[in-house]
Amino acid sequence: MSCQDVDGLMTPYLDAEVGIRDREAIEGHLGGCPQCARRAAAEGGARRVVMVKASILSPRAPDALRLRCAALTARRVPVRARWAVFGWRVVGLATASLVVVGLAATLLYGVVTHSPTLLVAELTIDHLKCFAFFESRGGQADPGAVANRLQADYGWRLAIPASLPREHLTLLGARRCFSTDGRVAHVLYRHGGRPVSLFMMPKTTREAARIAFGVHVARIWSRDQTTYVLLGSESEPDLQPIASYFQASLF
């Protein structure tokens, strides 16, 4: 898939509205094209900012803005100048879009980098998305194969905790999460049939924390310049043995 192909599918891809074949082709392209990957991360970041801030957004534009837009629409432009004006409008809209996306991505990066609560909000969105659309159908995954794939595809040398039958914990696979500019490995598990995610962020450190976000609970810790976030819709007592197992396996 070319950059031009991806350009036309970027929005439906980020909205999870493309088919399986297109999604796999787009992700294959993003894995080898830094420019398109940066764009996907920026536009995805802008989309997630809107989602996180949805509760405080106004459902209707202010009346003054609506009147100004109506006045601009009604204004007539001489025929000879229409194409020139149209060209400038296209450039203006494209530039404005890039500015908005860039500002949103920069703001999101700064907020997520410093706020554990918004980091968990960001990762919760990815957790829900991956289990809704991308969960492996192949059953239990091999941790060595998952680790090799992450290293081959993204250069990450990460230990992957295996399934733990006595806790009914099953390793399903791993993906790259586009949170924080795509530098997060998302490892998918099921615990007693319920989805559980382990996010790994190489070359970052954070203070240990427990964060509740809606029905989801997250445990954050760091070791050897890598931050780990364990997330699931589990109670704190149910999450504790999984956290202990992961920490022992990774350290």
Cβ-Cβ contacts under 8 Å for 111 (sequence gap 6 or more) = 118
Residue 215, SS3 per DSSP: coil
Answer yes or no: do 93 and 192 share one domain: no
Of the ranges 36-45, 108-117, 156-165, the best mean pLDDT one: 156-165
Residues 90 and 152 in one domain: no
Check which CATH number belongs to the domain holding 135 and give it.
3.30.200.100
Q: Do 237 and 188 reside in the same domain of the chain? A: yes
CA dihedral 183, 189, 195, 198 (to 10 degrees): -30
DSSP state, residue 167: G
Task: Give the pLDDT confidence of 201-224 residue by residue, as tens digits.
Answer: 988 888 899 988 778 899 999 988
Same domain, 127 and 244: yes
Among residues 134, 130, 112, 109, the alpha carbon closest in space to that of 211 is found at 112
Where a domain ends, among 78, 97, 114?
A: 114
Choose between 163 and 212: higher pLDDT.
163
74 or 127, greater pLDDT = 127
Specify whether 31 is located in the same domain as 49: yes
Residue 86: in which H helix or E strand, if any? helix 79-114
Residue of 174, 93, 184, 188 lying closest to 131 (CA atoms):
188
| Structural contact between residues 56 and 66, judged by C-beta atoms closer than 8 angstroms | no
Q: Which residues form the domain of 135?
A: 123-250
Q: pLDDT by residue (tens digit) across 223-244? A: 888 999 999 988 888 888 999 9
Same domain, 164 and 237: yes
DSSP string spanning 12-24?
A: HHHTT-S-HHHHH
Residue 4 and residue 107 share a domain = yes
**Are residues 128 and 245 part of one domain?**
yes
Q: What percent of the chain has a predicted confidence (pLDDT) above 70? A: 74
Q: Which helix (H) or strand (E) covers residue 223, if one does?
A: strand 216-223
pLDDT at residue 95 is higher than 50: no
Do both 188 and 148 map to the same domain? yes
Is the pLDDT confidence value at 102 over 50? no
Which range (60-69, 78-87, 162-171, 189-198) has the least confidence? 78-87
Q: Domain check: are 177 and 209 in the same one?
A: yes
Q: What is the pLDDT of residues 126-143, one digit of tens each?
A: 888 788 766 655 678 999
Determine the average pLDDT of the residues in 192-207: 90
pTM: predicted TM-score of the whole model, two decimal places: 0.57
The average pLDDT across 8-24 equals 86
The count of structural domains within the chain is: 2
Are both 26 and 88 inside the same structural domain?
yes
For 26-67, what is each residue's pLDDT tens digit? 999 999 988 888 788 878 877 777 777 666 666 667 777 777
